[in-house]
A and B are shown apart, each in its own frame.
Chain A
Amino acid sequence: MSRTVLNCGYVPLIDSAPLIIARELGFAAEEGLDLNLVRQPSWSALRDMLALGHLDAAQMLSPMPVAMSLGLGGLPAKIDSLMGLSVNGTVFGVSQKLAGDLGPVPFGDPHALLRALAGRGRGPLRVGVPFPFSMHRLLLSYWTQSAPDLAVEVVTVPPPRMADAVADGHVGAFWVGEPWGSAIVGRGVGSILMAGRHVWGFAPEKVLAARHDWIADNPDPTRHLMRAVYQSARWLDIEKNKPLAVEILGRSEHLNLSQEVIEPALTGLLTLTQGGTPQRIDQFLMFHNHAASFPWRSQAAWIAARLGADAAGIERAKQCFRSDLYRANLGPIGADLPGASEKVEGAIAEKTAVASSRGQMILAPDAFFNGRMFDFSASSDQ
Chain B
Amino acid sequence: MRKDLRILVVEADTAKAKNIIDALLEAGWSDVHAIAQVSGLEQSILKHAPDIVLIDMANPDRDTLEHIGVVSDTKSRAVAMFVDQTDQDLTQAALAAGVSAYVVDGLQMNRIKSVIETAIARFQMMRQMQSELEAAKQALEDRKTIDRAKGILMRRRDMSEDAAYKLLRKAAMDQGRKVIDVAQALVTASDLLT
Contacts and interface: CB of A to CB of B under 8 A. Distances in A.
A and B bind: yes
A73 B82 CA distance: 11
What bracket does the count of chain A residues touching chain B fall in?
A: 20 to 34
| SS of A interface (majority) | loop
A157 interface: yes
A76 B100 CA distance: 16
Given A74-B82, A132-B66, A165-B39, A52 B91 contact: yes
Given A54-B95, A165-B39, A73 B66 contact: yes
A104 to B, nearest CB: 30
Q: Is the interface of B mostly helix, strand, loop or mixed?
A: helix
Contacts of A42: 59-63
Interface residues of B, number: 25
A327 B18 CA distance: 54
B2 interface: no
Contacts of A54: 95
A75 B83 contact: yes
Contacts of A74: 66, 69-70, 79-80, 82-83
A95 to B, nearest CB: 15
A160 B60 contact: yes
A356 interface: no
B114 interface: no
A126 to B, nearest CB: 11
B71 interface: yes
B58 interface: yes
A53 B28 CA distance: 34
B126 interface: no
| Residue among B58, B60, B71 having the largest count of chain A Cβ atoms under 10 Å | B60
Given A45-B58, A54-B95, 17 more contacts: A42-B62, A44-B62, A45-B57, A45-B62, A48-B82, A52-B82, A74-B82, A131-B63, A131-B67, A132-B67, A132-B70, A132-B71, A154-B71, A156-B67, A156-B68, A158-B61, A165-B39
Interface of B: 39-40, 57-71, 79-80, 82-83, 91-92, 95, 100
Interface of A: 41-45, 48-49, 51-52, 54, 72-76, 130-132, 154-158, 160-161, 165, 170
6 contacts: A42-B59, A72-B70, A156-B63, A158-B61, A158-B64, A165-B39
Q: Which 9 A-B pairs have the closest CB atoms?
A: A74-B80, A156-B67, A158-B60, A42-B62, A132-B71, A132-B67, A156-B64, A42-B63, A44-B66
